[in-house]
Structure formats: structure tokens, C-alpha cells
């Protein structure tokens, strides 16, 4: 999403912004993440060709749950919710928190592809 889109949402009353000490409008990252999750909609595929998903998903971190060793990071990547398990140390090093931008890169040895209605 662009800065202009966020400004339109603030002007339209869909998002709340505050003013910082320098007079700039500021949107809370966690609030923006929650709003992005609510607004997620599947974009139209302009090519009209069916395909399995690409392996890079740009999105907003919507939740981070950590313990002493491991963490669960949830992201809203367009209409897709992506969940990653990683070390708590990695979360700290990357500065992951609700509202931060990230790219989920998926590498798997097995990928299941399904078709509508169980077609073969």
C-alpha cells in the first residue's frame, strides 16, 4: 500500500492518525496491521492464467508471539495470511513487530496444488 492510500484512509475516517511533536501525521503500526487484515481482498489476476502462487509475499506483520526460544510471526500479504515460525532471536534482530513491513519467502520441498471442484 502506498503513502497516498494511507492518507486517503485517514482523510476518509477509515484509519486514525495522531500528530507527532514535529507536526507529522502518524498512524499506529498495529492499528494499520489490523486495518490491512480487515481490508484484505483477493486481487484480480490480469493475465487470466491459472497458476500456483509465487514464493515471495510482501506484507505487513500483524502479530508476533514469542517465548524464550521460539516465535510465531503472522503477516497479512494481500489476501493471504502467512505464518512463520522462527527463533525469538531472529525476531529481535529483524525488528519484527505488528505494523512492520516484511517479505515472506517460502521454500518448501513439497508443494500441493489443488484445482477447483476436485478436477484432475
Q: Model pTM?
A: 0.56
Can you list the pairs that 89-98 forms with residues at least 24 positions away whose Cβ atoms lie under 8 Å?
Answer: 91/64, 91/66, 96/61, 96/64, 96/71, 97/29, 97/30, 97/61, 97/64, 98/29, 98/30, 98/33, 98/61, 98/62, 98/63, 98/64
What structural domains and CATH numbers belong to the chain?
3-39 (no CATH), 55-106 (2.40.50.100)
Q: How confident is residue 97, by pLDDT bands cut at 50, 70 and 90?
A: very high
pLDDT in tens, 44-91: 544 454 545 457 777 899 999 999 999 999 999 888 899 999 999 999
pLDDT in tens, 13-41: 888 889 999 999 888 888 888 888 777 76
Amino acid at each position: 500500500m502506498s503513502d497516498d492510500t494511507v492518507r486517503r484512509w485517514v482523510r476518509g475516517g477509515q484509519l486514525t492518525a495522531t500528530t507527532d511533536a514535529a507536526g507529522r501525521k502518524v498512524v499506529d503500526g498495529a492499528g494499520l496491521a489490523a486495518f490491512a487484515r480487515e481490508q484484505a481482498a483477493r486481487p484480480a489476476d490480469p493475465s487470466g492464467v491459472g497458476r500456483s502462487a509465487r514464493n515471495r509475499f510482501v506484507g505487513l506483520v500483524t502479530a508476533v508471539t514469542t517465548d524464550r526460544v521460539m516465535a510465531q510471526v503472522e503477516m497479512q500479504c494481500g489476501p493471504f495470511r502467512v505464518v512463520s515460525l522462527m527463533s525469538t532471536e531472529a525476531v529481535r534482530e529483524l525488528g519484527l513487530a505488528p505494523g512492520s513491513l516484511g517479505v515472506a519467502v517460502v521454500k518448501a520441498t513439497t508443494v500441493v496444488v489443488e484445482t477447483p471442484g476436485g478436477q484432475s
